[in-house]
Amino acid sequence: MNPAKDSASLLIAQDRLAVALDVPDAVAALSLVDRLGDTCRWLKVGMELYYSAGNDLVMALCERGYKIFLDLKLHDIPNTVVGGVRSATRAGAGLLTVHASGGEAMLRAAAEAAGEPGAPRLLAVTVLTSMDAAGLRSVGVPVSPADQVLRLARLAWTAGIRGVVCSAEEVGALREELGPDAFLVVPGIRPAGSASDDQKRIATPRDAIASGASMLVVGRPITRAADPAAATRGILNEISEAIRI
């Protein structure tokens, strides 16, 4: 064993994992964060928690030393989305999601706003991991999830956004299409043996990293665990193993 090498591997793994704070309010969020301790570096704040606790919670988590992935999936007219990007910047978020389906004008406006000092890196959401081909057809999209993800990722890239959210099923193709500079974030991660819950397109941490993911998002396998810190360490070990492959 090489302790220094193992420690470096752990630090790299921590930068490639975002723990989703899938809880309803600030009290529950801070309680969960206390249980996670220093096992993780990135925390994802989604819509339910953000609508309850707002920027005050984001700033409080930043003050504790965490990096914040603000998952608001902004999708509105360009001017409104620009305002959302600026609000996230003031709060100190490091990552922020926008819907690629908002169109090129919206994406370009968001990218321009994210060019300001201290602004978060933007991630374009392509097709939600809860959607499959049948779900896409129900909203008038007649192509496969893989085709739609690639189409929306190209649109976001053209608009100047270098981060994309996709499932593990598409990450390999996107890595090949967009190259090494793309920041590819994969939700729907489930350690081996975990329940899939409401996710359709899922993968293990090891498989997602090996396929080209830059960062993984893990929620319920950690937040519903009896020991969230231990669950986090287990996932970090899987990421570390994949990095060493």
**What pLDDT sits at residue 198?**
45
Catalytic residue (choose from 44, 67, 73, 200): 73
Q: Could you confirm whether 44 is annotated as catalytic? A: no
**What pLDDT sits at residue 45?**
98
Q: What Rg do the C-alpha atoms of the chain give, in angstroms?
A: 17
**What pLDDT sits at residue 191?**
81
**What pLDDT sits at residue 10?**
79
| Structural domains present in the chain | 3-244 (3.20.20.70)
* pLDDT, one tens digit for every residue, the chain (245 residues): 455 456 677 789 999 999 999 999 999 999 999 999 999 999 999 999 999 999 999 999 999 999 999 999 999 999 999 999 999 999 999 999 999 999 999 999 999 999 999 999 999 999 987 889 999 999 999 999 999 999 999 999 999 999 999 988 899 999 999 999 999 999 989 886 555 454 445 588 999 999 999 999 999 999 999 999 999 999 999 999 888 75
Question: Is residue 124 packed enough to be buried (19+ CB in 10 Å), middle (13-18) or exposed (0-12)?
Answer: buried
Could you tell me the pTM of the whole model? 0.91
- Best CA proximity match to 171, nearest among 197, 203, 198: 203
Q: Do the beta carbons of residue 153 and residue 173 sit within 8 Å?
A: no
- Best CA proximity match to 68, nearest among 76, 81, 59, 77: 59
- Best CA proximity match to 17, nearest among 174, 244, 238, 211: 238
- What beta strand segments (E) does the chain contain? 17-20, 42-46, 67-74, 95-99, 121-125, 163-165, 183-186, 215-218
**What pLDDT sits at residue 193?**
54
Plot region of 244 (φ>0 → left; ψ -120 to 50 → alpha; else → beta): alpha
